[in-house]
């Protein structure tokens, strides 16, 4: 299982998106109507033959401008047939996903808002059944529809980063994830922009060093039933030391990005969040330093 995950992430980091354009839309727009990263041609206006020529050329290393290395990663695993299918898809005008609006991008990070509307109940009165749950509705599930939630964040590259919820919290995804989810074993479009070797060209935050570490100690049960971690018998919890094993590849447990990083919708929180993060260093509002402080507080 773990082996498979690793292989999945290796393949995906080279970008394998057999005959699908969903991985392209973040840069090229839903109907290839944008100049990707401000430099490419508007692909929907190219002829089918030129699109095929360009994609085959990127694959062979014989076509392209300053950013051709980036496109090579995107097409490396496409067959000639896939390329032909994609060119047809683009020229037929099929939309991969609704185009996200891209308002003018603001500088800096956005503050998290905590404008919940929770009102404490009057404890002297009997509580109505509709007041018991946070959703303030009948407890009969069949009568309750989840609220309509619109995820309408701007496309990657035009979103404003959001302040961290607390020091070393996983940052929230500020941009649209249209066409990017779900992450599957064969397809992880996040890697195409966030792997450290790709992030700079796209203006994305690189995946941090912590995601390339294995923190799990090598654990064994010794003959007498004692627990051994990284070759050391553990008698007290204080015997457990954090060991960061550096990997050449993304750690498999980090492959499913959206397990920890989540997109944002504009909804009213049901309960006001009174938590106020304490940033010892202002820089930590927009950046993590986990690997440097991993054993802070551990004696
Ligand atoms: C991470 C952003 C990104 C993604 C994802 C991406 N592209 Fe590109 N694309 C670019 C950039 C940048 C260029 C211009 C590269 C250069 O030649 O310098 C480009 C160029 C192209 C061109 C040639 C246009 C020209 O200027 O000559 C085509 C065709 C194309 N891409 C199709 C695709 C397809 C199909 C996909 C998905 C399989 C895709 N791209 C995914 C960024 C991206
Ligand atoms: C087309 C390139 C692209 C793709 C694909 C992409 N991102 Fe991003 N991501 C960016 C850029 C660029 C930013 C910086 C904000 C902006 O400009 O929109 C960003 C910002 C983020 C941030 C906030 C980082 C911070 O420092 O606050 C997170 C978290 C994130 N992305 C996660 C993801 C995940 C998870 C996926 C896959 C579901 C993904 N991204 C897919 C380009 C991309
Ligand atoms: C198990 C939870 C988890 C998973 C899975 C995960 N992350 Fe993270 N991520 C975190 C946490 C926690 C942080 C902040 C602390 C740190 O740097 O490790 C973080 C930080 C980041 C940052 C900010 C780096 C910086 O310099 O500030 C980016 C970008 C990021 N992750 C991208 C990704 C992408 C892309 C994936 C999928 C390949 C992913 N993460 C998978 C938990 C996770």
Tens digits of residue pLDDT in 183-219: 999 889 899 899 999 898 889 999 999 999 999 999 9
**Which of the listed residues 40, 51, 77, 158 should we mutate to test ligand 1's pocket, taking the one with most ligand atoms within 8 A of CB?**
40
Report, as an integer, the average pLDDT of 51-71. 88
Report, as an integer, the average pLDDT of 290-294. 92
List, as one string, the DSSP characters of the chain.
Answer: -HHHHHHHHHHHHT---TT--TTTHHHH-TTS-SBGGGTS-BGGGS-HHHHHHHHHHHHHT-S-STTHHHHHHHHTT--HHHHHHHHHHHHTT--SSPPPP-PPPPSS-BPPP---------TTSPPPGGGTSTT-S-S-GGG-PPPP----PPPTTSSPPB--SSTTPPPPB-S--TTT-S-BTTB-HHHHHHSHHHHHHHTPPPPPGGGGEE----EEE-TTS-EEETTEEESSGGG-----EE-SS--GGGS-GGGTS-B------SS--------SSGGGGS---HHHHTTTT--
Q: Please tell me if the CB atom of residue 180 comes closer than 6 angstroms to any atom of ligand 1.
A: no
For residue 41, which atom of ligand 1 is closest to its CA? Answer: 26
Mean pLDDT of the chain: 82
pLDDT at residue 104, rounded to an integer: 60
Q: Please tell me if the CB atom of residue 96 comes closer than 6 angstroms to any atom of ligand 1.
A: no
Distance CA 158, CA 144 (A): 36
Q: Please write the tens of the pLDDT for every residue from 17-36.
A: 335 677 787 778 888 998 88
More reliable by pLDDT, 279 or 70: 279
Band (pLDDT 50/70/90 cuts) for residue 167 is very high
Interval between CA 203 and ligand 3 midpoint (Å): 16
Share of the chain above pLDDT 90, in %: 38
Phi, psi of 91 (to 5 degrees): -70, -25
Lowest mean pLDDT among 4-13, 207-216, 252-261: 4-13
Share of the chain above pLDDT 70, in %: 85
**Which of the listed residues 13, 20, 27 should we mutate to test ligand 1's pocket, taking the one with most ligand atoms within 8 A of CB?**
27
Q: Please tell me if the CB atom of residue 157 comes closer than 6 angstroms to any atom of ligand 3.
A: no
In the sheet where 232-234 sits, what is the strand order? Answer: 219-221, 227-229, 232-234
pLDDT at residue 6, rounded to an integer: 37
Lowest mean pLDDT among 81-90, 100-109, 228-237, 242-251: 100-109
Q: Please tell me if the CB atom of residue 55 comes closer than 6 angstroms to any atom of ligand 1.
A: yes
Interval between CA 49 and ligand 2 midpoint (Å): 32
Whether the full predicted model's pTM is greater than 0.75, yes or no, is no
């Amino acid at each position: 299982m773990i082996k498979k995950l690793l292989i999945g992430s290796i393949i995906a980091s080279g970008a394998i998106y057999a005959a699908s354009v969903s991985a392209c839309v973040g840069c090229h727009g839903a109907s290839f109507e944008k100049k990707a990263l401000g430099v490419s041609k508007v692909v929907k206006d190219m002829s089918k033959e030129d699109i095929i020529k360009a994609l085959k050329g990127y694959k062979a290393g014989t076509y392209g401008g300053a950013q051709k290395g980036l496109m090579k990663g995107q097409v490396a695993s496409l067959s000639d047939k896939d390329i032909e299918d994609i060119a047809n898809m683009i020229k037929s005008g099929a939309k991969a996903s609704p185009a996200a609006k891209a308002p003018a991008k603001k500088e800096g990070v956005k503050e998290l808002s905590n404008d919940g509307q929770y009102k404490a109940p009057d404890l002297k009165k009997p509580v109505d059944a509709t007041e018991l749950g946070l959703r303030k509705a009948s407890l009969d599930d069949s009568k309750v529809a989840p609220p309509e939630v619109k995820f309408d964040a701007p496309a990657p590259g035009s979103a404003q980063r959001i302040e961290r919820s607390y020091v070393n919290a996983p940052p929230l995804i500020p941009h649209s994830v249209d066409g990017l989810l779900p992450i599957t074993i064969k397809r992880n479009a996040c890697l195409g922009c966030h792997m450290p070797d790709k992030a700079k060209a796209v203006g994305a935050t690189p995946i941090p060093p912590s995601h390339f570490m294995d923190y799990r100690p090598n654990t064994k049960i010794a003959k007498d039933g004692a627990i051994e971690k990284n070759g050391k018998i553990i008698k007290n919890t204080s015997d457990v030391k954090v060991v960061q094993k550096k990997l050449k590849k993304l750690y498999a447990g980090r492959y499913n990005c959206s397990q920890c990083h989540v997109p944002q919708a504009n909804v009213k929180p049901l309960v006001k969040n009174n938590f106020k993060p304490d940033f010892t260093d202002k820089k930590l509002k927009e950046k993590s330093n986990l690997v440097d402080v991993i054993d802070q507080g551990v004696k």
